[in-house]
Amino acid sequence: MNRVTGLIIIEAKNSNPNGDPDRESDPRQRLDGRGEISSVSLKRKIRDLVEEKEGPVWQYLRDEFPDDEHVILESRGRDRELIKKEDVATITKKYWDARIFGSTFLEKEKSHIRTGVVQIGMGISIAPISVIRHTLTNKSGVQEGKDRGMAPQAFRVVEHAVYAMPFFVNPSAAFKSGCTERDIDLFFKLLPLAYSHSRSVSRPDVEIRHVHTFAHLNPLGSISDFKFIEALSPTKSLDPGQASKSFADYSVPAWSEVKQNFEGKGLYRDLISA
């Protein structure tokens, strides 16, 4: 397994890509006005696609990836006492998300897979975000004597934003977790589907525009992660301090424009167009 450097470009339109529980589920936002998407949020969506064994995504992939080797450890409602009874070999073979993402869910004696092979960074919007808040109404009221219901400012969305989210495949963690290249291949197949198959009322229009990946020539790495990420990150030259209105507001580098800096040093793929 060689190192891989990746960059996910996410566009949000009138949606909340990641609510902040400390701010009544407002879209996550930094002090400088730029928006955030946590790595936990994205990993949850990917875990759910694997866990929903009767769902269309897993039905499409299951012939290639056996159910009994792709169980989700950090599933909702998991009984921790049952996990304590499982031995290390079983955990390593059975739980795909532990092999690939690691887990703090495990007890100390099983801490050999605390660190995951895939690490996902924080998604940060290129420009500040504009948050819109509306009251939601319900035709049938939930209170006695009310013929309609209202949820003041319950609809909290980003008008428009483009986020850049880096990720990294670190082979140094693979021998501890039992992660294989096949596990990474499943991650690559799921990543482009993470938002299109998890739409909701507050997140109707979030889409991954690009998943830039660069497979290094060896496990140690053959290019600078930062240079690759910087080369393919969008920019907003006109009014960079103002929220965007559309994807056209951004300059989005194409691989053909930057590849001369990385030629002969690894293999590039965009998982969206692959």
Question: Which tens digits make up the pLDDT trace of 196-235?
Answer: 999 999 999 999 999 999 999 999 999 999 999 999 999 9
14 backbone φψ class: left, alpha, beta (φ>0; ψ -120 to 50) = left
Please give the backbone phi and psi of residue 20, each rounded to the nearest 5 degrees, phi first: -100, 110
Tokens of 131: 């948050």
Contacts 24+ apart (CB under 8 A), 40-45: 41/17, 42/8, 42/120, 42/123, 42/165, 42/194, 43/97, 43/101, 43/120, 45/194, 45/195, 45/197, 45/198
Q: What percent of the chain has pLDDT above 70?
A: 88
CA 71 from chain center: how many Å? 19
Q: In 10 A of CB 156, how many CB atoms?
A: 18
Q: How confident is the model at residue 241 (pLDDT cuts 50, 70, 90)?
A: very high
What's the predicted TM-score (pTM) here? 0.90
| pLDDT value, residue 255 | 97
Which residues are within 8 A (CB) of 268 and not within 5 positions of it... i.e. 6 or more apart? 212, 213, 214, 255, 259, 262
25-74 pLDDT, tens digit each: 899 999 999 999 999 999 999 999 999 999 999 999 999 999 999 999 88
Q: Is the dihedral of CA 47, 52, 57, 58 positive or negative?
A: positive
